[in-house]
A and B are shown apart, each in its own frame.
Chain A
């Protein structure tokens, strides 16, 4: 195990004891990136080589000189006896959907490929102010629109470190892949329908979608503004908690950032689950998805390995004193995707109108006779197929004659989904749950190109994660073992508004209960290859 494979809190501890310097930490991460990442995503589109297929390709932009400068600053502070901050020396990557001053902030889209942000997003700024060191900006689905990263305009798109012919998930695929491959212990992602939790599950790392409004969206390039949540990707629950501690909280720049006090997430994190009520719902053990050929809705149970991982987790939590509540009804779960198809598209179309070739970003080189023609040429050249698809659907379902039928109805369905959660978390209700335990995803990571192009099937990868976004509640995905193909399985905990602390406590208990299991010692394929050919 190298320095870059250590958890973030351990790195800070060693740094503060002067057993390692910030410079050494950064150099070690940069060496790992050089060893496993391959060429960064770019717009040259020269095709994918055999070598590319063996690499992770998490990054779009590596900011190594800024990282080295910040490390030197931290080492200087330590030498002078000053406090370098609670996250001092923790390297992190940032999904390239966040503005960071002076860096290209591309949203993985051609239309923003030349955009240099004039300011820094609040969560990134808070991490940097507290001593964390940004290593660079990582790849994603274009404007976050996808669950595999294959839609990025910057190719090669990220690959799953566990099996590089599989997708890392998405849209925070670069975030999850960079953390799983040991390039950085932390990453900042965003979750609109599962975009932190699904790639975390596919890559075998921890991913947290905080309560909507818990983390400021200032500086986040918007997708669906009523659903977008920035959050941590990490290799341990404690690291994720330490990161959320810093990025959460009120922000004068975002009116939807809650003023509710941020609790101490690490305090009592190892107090266990004795007496907690944890629910299992049959509605999370079935998936409903459209038949790719006929479009007819099919319903089937989850793969056995995934259901077994969740039930084994329940067994372990019960053995530690939690009370498992079976048969919790969550009847509106299956309507999450249809409602999401409407709400997210309306908001996306609205948010994408600002890209017009006038103020920043791409403007077409074609000669345009008038402004409207310039808009059309620019938007045609700048947007890939997925943004175009979202704009068109958003405009259709919000058109005056349809908005009652689709948009209003979808927002009513959101109320029903929210009610499902409010009912089971109600402290005076029948279920009184502290958390709901579910699988994170209906499958483990799928092969590259297996789903891409079918926008409906791709969307259904988020079926078990999107209800939390509709409801606004927090969720966490934890590594829950490996399937027969040695691909990670993700298990999910969902909690009541602002109860992230409860989820961390359960997650940490599960980590402790499984720390000696054989799968915990298995490493991703890219690291095995690296160790064979150092």
Chain B
């Protein structure tokens, strides 16, 4: 398989990822992505039975070694203002952002 991430697909990914790039960055990143894709294609050469299970993580979490889900309890944070103080723009206890774009649904 020799697919390549075309400029068109790349630009679409950049938009989805909420990034914007200079021309120089775009060229470097697209070249690196395509090089990585060559390495990833090695996976296709491995004979894998369809029924080989996927692993979401390596170590199995048996019940005996996993904590039970904790109670869904509200724990008061001692100083919410400290956390709000990290927000770039705050007004009257609200986080302020630029206009949220709206699209008319047809």
- Contact string against B for A residues 365-406, beta-carbon threshold 8 Å, 1 for contact and 0 otherwise: 000111111111101100101001101110111000000011
Place the interface of chain B in its size category.
35 or more
Q: Does A235 contact B (CB under 8 A)?
A: no
In the complex formed, the residue of A with least CB distance to B35 is A456
Chain A residues with Cβ below 8 Å from B54 are 408, 411-412, 414-415
- Contact string against A for B residues 2-14, beta-carbon threshold 8 Å, 1 for contact and 0 otherwise: 0001000110011
| Partner-contacting stretch, out of A58-66, A197-205, A465-473, A502-510 | A465-473
**Does B38 lie within 8 Å of A295, measured CB to CB?**
yes
**Does A295 lie within 8 Å of B58, measured CB to CB?**
no
Q: Complex formed: what's the CA distance from A356 to B19 in Å? A: 10
CB contacts under 8 Å to A, within B1-31, are 5, 9-10, 13-14, 16-21, 25, 28-29
Closest Cβ of chain B to A497, distance in Å, is 5
Contact partner, B19, options A341, A376, A406, A410, Cβ 8 Å = A376
Closest Cβ of chain A to B59, distance in Å, is 3
Q: Complex formed: what's the CA distance from A369 to B48 in Å? A: 50
- Contact string against B for A residues 278-292, beta-carbon threshold 8 Å, 1 for contact and 0 otherwise: 000000000000100
Chain A residues with Cβ below 8 Å from B13 are 392, 395-396
Q: Does A274 contact B (CB under 8 A)?
A: no
**Does B18 lie within 8 Å of A212, measured CB to CB?**
no
Q: Does B93 contact A (CB under 8 A)?
A: no
CB contacts under 8 Å to A, within B54-106, are 54-59, 61, 64-67, 69-70, 82-83, 86-89, 95, 97-101
**Does A413 lie within 8 Å of B29, measured CB to CB?**
no
Q: Complex formed: what's the CA distance from A405 to B32 in Å? A: 20
**Does B66 lie within 8 Å of A416, measured CB to CB?**
no
Contact partner, B97, options A358, A377, A392, A411, Cβ 8 Å = A358
**Does B98 lie within 8 Å of A368, measured CB to CB?**
yes
Q: Complex formed: what's the CA distance from A259 to B59 in Å? A: 13
> A358-B97, A471-B58 in contact; A342/B40 too (CB < 8 A)?
yes
Q: Does A257 contact B (CB under 8 A)?
A: yes
Chain A residues with Cβ below 8 Å from B59 are 211-213, 258, 471-473, 497
Chain A residues with Cβ below 8 Å from B58 are 212, 226, 414, 418, 469-473
Contact partner, A415, options B41, B43, B55, B99, Cβ 8 Å = B55
> A395-B17, A397-B40, A469-B58 in contact; A360/B86 too (CB < 8 A)?
yes
Q: Complex formed: what's the CA distance from A454 to B38 in Å? A: 14
**Does A455 lie within 8 Å of B88, measured CB to CB?**
no
CB contacts under 8 Å to A, within B26-53, are 28-29, 32-33, 35-36, 38-44, 46, 48, 52-53
Chain A residues with Cβ below 8 Å from B21 are 380, 388
**Does B29 lie within 8 Å of A392, measured CB to CB?**
yes
The binding surface of chain B is classed by DSSP as loop
Contact partner, B52, options A212, A375, A412, Cβ 8 Å = A412
> A212-B58, A374-B97, A396-B33 in contact; A341/B18 too (CB < 8 A)?
no
Q: Does A118 contact B (CB under 8 A)?
A: yes
**Does B61 lie within 8 Å of A213, measured CB to CB?**
yes
Q: Complex formed: what's the CA distance from A369 to B13 in Å? A: 22
Contact partner, B33, options A335, A356, A362, A393, Cβ 8 Å = A393
Q: Complex formed: what's the CA distance from A363 to B28 in Å? A: 25
Closest Cβ of chain A to B14, distance in Å, is 7
Q: Complex formed: what's the CA distance from A410 to B13 in Å? A: 21
Contact partner, B86, options A359, A413, A455, Cβ 8 Å = A359
Q: Does A357 contact B (CB under 8 A)?
A: yes
Q: Complex formed: what's the CA distance from A238 to B13 in Å? A: 48
Closest Cβ of chain A to B40, distance in Å, is 5
Closest Cβ of chain A to B33, distance in Å, is 6
Interface on B for A, CB 8 Å cutoff? 5, 9-10, 13-14, 16-21, 25, 28-29, 32-33, 35-36, 38-44, 46, 48, 52-59, 61, 64-67, 69-70, 82-83, 86-89, 95, 97-101
Q: List 14 A-B contacts (CB under 8 A).
A: A118-B86, A255-B67, A290-B35, A342-B40, A369-B98, A371-B99, A379-B20, A392-B33, A396-B13, A409-B43, A413-B46, A414-B54, A416-B48, A472-B57
Interface on A for B, CB 8 Å cutoff? 115-116, 118, 211-213, 226-227, 250, 252, 255-260, 290, 295, 297, 332, 334-335, 337-339, 341-342, 349, 356-363, 368-377, 379-380, 383, 385, 388-389, 391-393, 395-397, 405-406, 408-416, 418, 454-456, 459, 469-473, 497
